[in-house]
Amino acid sequence: AQKVTQAQTEISVVEKEDVTLDCVYETRDTTYYLFWYKQPPSGELVFLIRRNSFDEQNEISGRYSWNFQKSTSSFNFTITASQVVDSAVYFCALSPSGAGSYQLTFGKGTKLSVIP
């Protein structure tokens, strides 16, 4: 069985602060994908990143960065110099790979509020 835990239910930060969203996962699969999605109030899940379990390199995209550590089964997401537009619910998700299809197991999400 797969499980994704996002221990932080809600986080509030002041604009321009850095914030890290934690994600810990459990899986027995040897290969898998990890995802992060952003859900603004409109409801649409916005794709942020997909990471293959083979690739443990950290990634940076603008103000966003991701730290994947297979040894601790964590895939944390950091927003640098947060902005009000970053306010949303963020989901971490896990899917087995090699099965020819995605079947995502989501965490419960972390609601981020950036205060001006």
Partner 1 sequence: KAGVTQTPRYLIKTRGQQVTLSCSPISGHRSVSWYQQTPGQGLQFLFEYFSETQRNKGNFPGRFSGRQFSNSRSEMNVSTLELGDSALYLCASSVAGGTGELFFGEGSRLTVL
Q: Footprint of partner 1 on this chain (CB under 8 A)?
A: 35, 37, 42-47, 50, 91, 93, 95, 97-109
Do residues 66 and 78 make contact, with C-beta atoms less than 8 angstroms apart?
Answer: yes
Of the two residues 71 and 85, which places its CB atom closer to partner 1 in the complex? 85
Of the two residues 10 and 17, which places its CB atom closer to partner 1 in the complex? 10
According to DSSP, the residues that pair with 111 across neighbouring strands are 10, 89
Of the two residues 16 and 50, which places its CB atom closer to partner 1 in the complex? 50
Min. distance of Cβ 70 from partner 1 in angstroms?
A: 20
With b for 16 or more beta-carbon neighbours within 10 A and e for fewer, the 62-94 pattern comes to eebbbbbeeeebbbbbbbeebeeebbbbbbbbb
Min. distance of Cβ 18 from partner 1 in angstroms?
A: 26
Integer Cα distance of 32 and 28 in angstroms? 9
Min. distance of Cβ 99 from partner 1 in angstroms?
A: 6
